[in-house]
Structure 1
């Protein structure tokens, strides 16, 4: 599952609200189906109504579906149930949002764990002054990075319909509606549901990168700009309710900084469709949307600031700026000045609109070169309004636009360029060969030989390729992308350009290689201090082994002269007080590699060690968390995730990925988006202040965590290394269907090899989730806990007490996630999928340890929680209990379809296999919707 609701809000308020909203939605959906002639289908919807009774978890006949694989009623029932699961998610989302509003209205400051009120009140109670908190607030910089990994199973048009349904659900909360108006709202809801039903959810064609960018542009261009005022309002309200002076936050520059990143069109790791041309079009699309939004925002501001010279004197600074900007714009100025002649503030805004740059062309005379220049004019606008006593207009009208410019600039989101270190190896082999150097076997060179060559070449500005010669395909792919970046940097500056990220960083040579490739693209600058790169080169440490080596790799990288010169240049560009190095850490591959405990503890230890390395070099470290949408890939309650980071790992800055279906789950609606961004920004402030006072000494239970990590990893690796494991996985999960699906433009495997190493972590987790094994979310936890309990019960009790008292956030986060992952697994369903494994010996060799570890994990977790998890974690139990019975028939159908589909493929009955694939994909969508997660 994705992040289960874990707020401290009252279950007595939220859970009955879920039932009421779900009943409202399901009744409307059933009515629609009856009215369009699908009455038999309506009777098979989950959670049927029975004379106004509460939601039923199951009912006779609801799951009694025809067993014929080609029965059209069953096929449509799966799709209807998929929609029902999504309606349930919206009911839960709205219930939590309304519960938060109710609790806030009742005056409780700390009821919503992780909110601004919770964080600010706790900081004040623990001794931080208002001045200290305000000073730290301006250092906070949160940057969610949107990606389009193949985990979003819904079509773009389907996402649009779901957003409309949620808005109608929220509208229904208003108590002012007359009976007639409420009836009209219900008809609007039914119309939205009918549109959704008639649209269909299956992706008929594999998405393109352009299509994925379109979805991302909706969130970046529509949702997040509309969310900013909500986010500011939440902070300002909390600030006052805690008793702080609101004047402290009057200026937008005194508030936390929010920006966004994007991987769509820049992430080329195993993605051959992300060409240099795609990257160039992506940068243009982002800039075009940013400037369109700014043009509209400035026009709205101009319409409101119709202040006449007949009512107030014109400040001298405003007059001077009007003259200067008009002169700079030349022929473009008179039309802007001709409008609104007696309204100078409006005239200035007309000129500012005319001065916006062309996103596709080179800089033009008089146009803004950077967003900072536009910010300066907005500040002048605000200052002159205050000068005439219109502080309210400055605060209410100008500040929101300023926030938009500061957040999105002229670029909307920073585009990262990511590529795998192995691909860079092949690119360098191409380059060396083209340059007349014997380097075709570069990938086999030892690291010390690589370092010697790289150091030698980085001392020279001479490229390998000149006189129009061509390198091989790998070099041209990498250099082509970097050349696009270099061109954009030259014409528009660094804004909008993110990091150069190296997946699977194994050695410092993998990072230095990027500098050399950048030299070939004209991206590496040579000056008196040698070579320097204007964009950050960022390691991505993913496996358990690479995380263990990360401090030494970072140390060598920060000591290298090209890195030092690059960081100094980047510091000058940003105006930061200290040089800053970004490091990305991967949750997906570390979880796939070593299981949950080893992954989370390895990540924790690596971060703590790298913070010390960076401090020795006088560098600020900015971690970039590559989290996915499931517990196996780093997901979990946002506020708990932030708290679980080691002291110093979040020092003002937090960057993290938002992947696949989590984007629409967390950010589809403004209220929900504001809440999730609030958890990130408030959590970053909390972690920053507390991290500066916290001891860097190891926690007393750290050795026990290391023991749990080692024991659980050993048990997990034993499963993966059991003979026949890949055969079991290939047959007991629908991985082959997922690889054939149309839910993302990226291939499921990096190179197409059918090996464990080549399989991406996303489909790996997706397939286990579909079959309800979820092994990477809990496997090994039980053995580790019971081994400790048997060997040292006193220490185990210390661990359990620490978890129950929530005294150590990393432990609390780990055990809570493991318990949720275990609860989502289902041994009865596992066994049904295991029945698909043809060889009975292989089946039992793998299934027996999985079932045994499932029971061991139950015993271990119940010893921690002091009782059955259904009783000790009622909210999670309620979430799963609503879904479990409704998922049963879909699992049954998927298993039958898998058998038939595989048989048809094995017998070369291509037409039959093709006919079975769409209904199979429907079951994949429905189960993903029911669990709230794919990969």
Structure 2
């Protein structure tokens, strides 16, 4: 079917199935009798109209809101005004949920897979061509996808709301008005936020909702389809999908994560998995009531029940026991009972193969500076103290590498270490027991954040050898994380040193000559801006691939992607599909975090679709293995120049004296710590003065998105393109764009960021004495970038090539427009003196708006 016709059909479906139904259900929603919000539904449309008209006239938010209250209500006391605004927020938050559910109910009608990129299609097209089929077989053997769920603080829907969304989506699909009405009422009475900050274990439990209710089924369904496709062509089955998990293991910058946290989460993941297994087993047991399987059923009944519910059980890895008994049942069914219900057995076997005893691998992550401190502490104690000079930390990297000896030892600790060092030592010891209980894959990766030199990896390996591990049993993969622009430039040299180190080389051989390398999109964007971050990662991947290939190492890039394009998000699968043969791309690994989890993996249908999109991207990229035109000398020179220009523009902005004050005063940045959704601090230096370098990338990007300016997602792009035009290189830039899917994806995602920006909301700032010129600078770059991107892409409007996505974004932005105004109103009021009680109310008002704005954006933070 032609792409234009398909797009038109999707637009029609979106208008009829999503927009029309939302308006219908929203009218019902606004009349529901919720507690303490009488007449709010009547006033909200009037408030929205006042907001729209006020923005057109460039009025300040406080003026817009005060004029609304004077015209449409009798409220004149601050408490009454704030109370009604809170009620508006409650409604709008739930309108966002309603729109989510309506849109999700039409998911299958709106989203279609490119059949040409599926494994089934590739196999079919290669069936009569032995060399082609052999190439596909080799690709399948090497292909893998690892999705890692992370607990970054932008997953605002609690489990109770996620369950309502699931049920509401189902009811909307079935047009069950009675159930819809009941669920909307339930939604109105269900809290959307926590009264206190969650612990890391709470975060893990909330995130495990997706493992239990979505991924457990979606991953197995996809594996079943893969097995069926491969079996049709007599190819061996291959486990492609793996799940990873960060809550409870990621302690980088989170002082609330301790070794006890890690142990509790590993136990929790195992228990939830076995409850899933037991749930499936009960269905299987109810059907398989035949002779010859009684003993196997009895064994499974006993072990599954105990592992799911017995808190005092001494646990161990029993995955082989489960598979042995299930396979014996399968064999009996095939031999003696015509294979009746064998599909139920196959399904459970497949799930045990996928999830083992652990469900998702628990990654451990810590900053290199903390790990260096732990290494220093251990060196002070016997017997290690005799191996290192006192001035070891002052030595050059070359001198350090010559001294590191990888001696196995049992250190005696006569003095107590600081808390972070103590945690590092204890978690290293406990990983071994986690592997014993849940299997090796339950916890086998240690990620080193802010990795700046080869010794950061090698010293961590020594910490393992000094704390209960031996060289022969070191079942750990050490994963460097390169985050800043400068770190990415040095990454290739660091890995070359590691690959040449005899001890590390032997360790990699024991691990199958496989190396995972993590790249951070969020911090690189905060450090260098949107284009420089993406270009630095592209070049870093190219160099790291070449270095690994030289040493015959199978490389897997672990991409630390956030939700928005400014943090590596957007249409992620298109990035993977656009890689050339110069970048290792057969082992895809990426973080899934924040609102992206619920928006892209919130239902079994959407999870299956998005997982398939990533697998298909790996297949199509692997089959084509085309040369990436961005590496041609002329094209690379153009992108180098564009990235440098973009970087300089972003750097000048970052160093502007008003950059941090602007964010502090006009965005809810300083209030983000009051949002009770995360155990992780907003910034790394605790209660110290706010510095940009200490600010977490997620807080940085979220603050700009709340302002509806999304600076990290586009700033510098317009300047870089304009400079190329002035230099007479415009035709060359257009040619590069037309030939490079990678550059197209960068541009498309940049347009997505800009589509979620609206400078008209803050247009009143142009006349501000303090920030007027600074606001104008931001606005000018936005307009320049918009002009240049439209000229480059040949589109008439931003995201014109994605009309359904464009309309979805516009609708969501319209829904939450009053929230943005309320937030600005509260922040503006907070600039003046108030009694403590009123100040707290205004702060709470500003904080509450953040939830709905991020939820509506789906990938804003």
TM-score calculated relative to the size of structure 2: 0.88
- Offset at residue 15 of structure 1 (A): 3.5
Question: In structure 2, which of residues 797, 805, 819 is the aligned counterpart of residue 869 of structure 1?
Answer: 797
1:247 aligned residue: 232
Bigger mean CA offset, 163-172 vs 609-618: 163-172
CA contact (8 A) 1:502 1:539 kept: yes
Give the corresponding residue for 2:818: 889
Query: 1:436-585 counterparts in 2 under 5 A?
Result: 446-453=396-403, 455-456=404-405, 458=406, 460-463=407-410, 465-466=411-412, 469-523=415-469, 525-526=470-471, 533-571=474-512, 579-585=513-519
- Out of 735, 752, 756, which is 1:820 matched to? 752
Q: 1:347 aligns with which of 285, 295, 315?
A: 295
Preserved contact between residue 587 and residue 599 of structure 1 (Cα < 8 Å): yes
Structure 2 distance, partners of 1:362, 1:617, is: 48
Task: Report the equivalent of 1:295.
Answer: 278
What are the Cα deviations for residues 751-802 of structure 1, in whole angstroms up to 9, with x where unaligned? 2242111111000000000001111100000011111122124xx3343355
Matched, 1:765 2:701: yes
Query: Do residues 923 (structure 1) and 841 (structure 2) align?
Result: no
- In 2, the alpha carbon distance for the partners of 1:127 and 1:732 equals 63
User: Match for residue 12 of structure 1?
Assistant: 12
Alpha-carbon shift at residue 416 of structure 1 (Å): 0.4
Residue in 2 that maps onto 1:313: none
How much does 1:260 deviate?
A: 0.8
The alpha carbon displacement at 1:123 in A equals 7.8
2:481 is paired with a residue of what secondary structure? strand
Counterpart of 1:162?
165
Aligned residues of 2:515 and 2:554 also touching (Cα < 8 A): yes
- Structure 1 residues 664 and 834 mapped into 2: Cα distance closer, same or farther (>3 Å)? farther
Q: CA deviation at 1:679?
A: 1.3
**2:69 is the alignment partner of 1:66:** yes
- Residue in structure 2 matched with residue 332 of structure 1 by the alignment: none
Match of 2:149 in 1: 146
Where 1:746 maps in the other structure, the secondary structure is: coil
Alignment CA distance shift 1:386-1:145 (3 Å): same
Aligned to 1:55: none
**Maintained 8 Å contact 2:854/2:860:** yes
**Do the aligned residues in 2 keep the contact of 1:45 with 1:77 (CA within 8 Å)?**
no
Provide the C-alpha distance between the structure 2 equivalents of 1:230 and 1:855, rounded to a whole number of angstroms: 46
User: Are the equivalent residues in 2 in contact too, given 1:429–1:441 (CA < 8 A)?
Assistant: no
- Local SS of the residue matching 2:676: coil
Alignment check: 8 A CA contact 2:145 2:589 kept:
yes
- Superposition deviation, residue 276 in structure 1: 0.6
Q: What is the aligned-residue RMSD (CA, Å)?
A: 3.5
TM-score (norm 1): 0.81
SS at match of 1:540: strand
- CA deviations on 1:500-546 (whole Å, 9 max, x unpaired) are 000011111111121122223213x135xxxx732001000111111
Map residues 132-281 of structure 1 onto 2, 5 A cutoff.
132-134=135-137, 136-172=139-175, 185-232=176-223, 247-248=232-233, 254-281=237-264
Contact 1:607 1:649 in 2 (8 A): yes
How many residues align structurally? Answer: 828
Contact 2:357 2:439 in 1 (8 A): no
User: Which of residues 911, 914, 925 in structure 1 aligns to 2:837?
Assistant: 911
Alignment partner of 1:872: what SS? coil
Correspondent of 2:614 among 660, 677, 680: 680
Q: Distance in 2 between matches of 1:188 and 1:730?
A: 44
Asked if 1:375 corresponds to 2:323, the answer is yes
1:756 aligns with 2:689: no
Structure 1 residues 430, 787: closer, same or farther in 2, change over 3 A? same
Judge which range, 879-888 or 632-641, deviates more: 879-888
1:75-90 aligned at under 5 Å gives the runs: 75-90=86-101
Contact 2:558 2:589 (8 Å CA) reproduced: yes
Pick closer, same or farther for the CA change 1:40–1:849 going to 2, 3 Å.
Answer: closer
On the 8 A contact 2:250/2:365 being kept in 1, the answer is yes
- For residues 337 and 817 of structure 2, the distance between their equivalents in structure 1, rounded to whole angstroms, comes to 66
Q: Distance in 1 between matches of 2:41 and 2:128?
A: 56
* 1:879 Cα deviation from its structure 2 partner: 2.5
CA contact 2:528–2:651 (8 Å) conserved in 1:
yes
2:659 maps to 1:668? no
Shift of 1:585: 0.7
Deviation, 1:745, is: 1.0
Contact 1:209/1:745 (<8 A) preserved: yes
The match for 2:722 among 765, 768, 786 is: 786
1:490 and 1:760 map into 2 onto residues whose CA distance is: 35
Q: CA deviation at 1:12?
A: 2.8
From the superposition, tell whether residues 871 and 641 of structure 1 become closer, same or farther in structure 2 (CA, over 3 Å).
Answer: closer
Pairing 1:650-669 to 2, within 5 Å after superposition: 650-669=584-603
Q: Secondary structure at the match of 2:631?
A: coil
SS at match of 2:273: helix
Q: Is 1:591 the counterpart of 2:525 in the alignment?
A: yes
Match of 2:338 among 358, 378, 390: 390
Deviation at 1:479, TM superposition (A): 0.4
Distance (Å, rounded) in 1 between the aligned partners of 2:109 and 2:128? 27
Residues 168 and 180 of structure 2 are in contact (CA less than 8 Å); yes or no, is this contact kept in structure 1? yes
Unaligned 5+ segments in structure 2 are 1-5, 50-54, 57-63, 71-75
What CA distance in whole angstroms lies between the structure 1 residues aligned with 2:788 and 2:286? 64
- Which deviates the most, 222-231 or 717-726? 222-231
Structure 1 SS opposite 2:694: coil
Q: Provide closer, same or farther for how the CA distance between residues 296 and 199 of structure 1 changes in structure 2, counting only shifts above 3 A.
A: closer
Which residues in structure 2 correspond to 1:837-848 (within 5 Å)?
Answer: 840-841=769-770, 843-848=771-776
1:420 CA drift (Å): 0.4
Residue 774 in structure 1 maps to residue 700 in structure 2: no
Following the alignment from structure 1 to structure 2, what is the Cα–Cα distance between the partners of residues 406 and 220?
16
Please give the per-residue CA displacement for 1:226-245, whole angstroms capped at 9, x wherever unaligned.
224543566589x5xxxxx8
- Structure 2 match to 1:602: 536
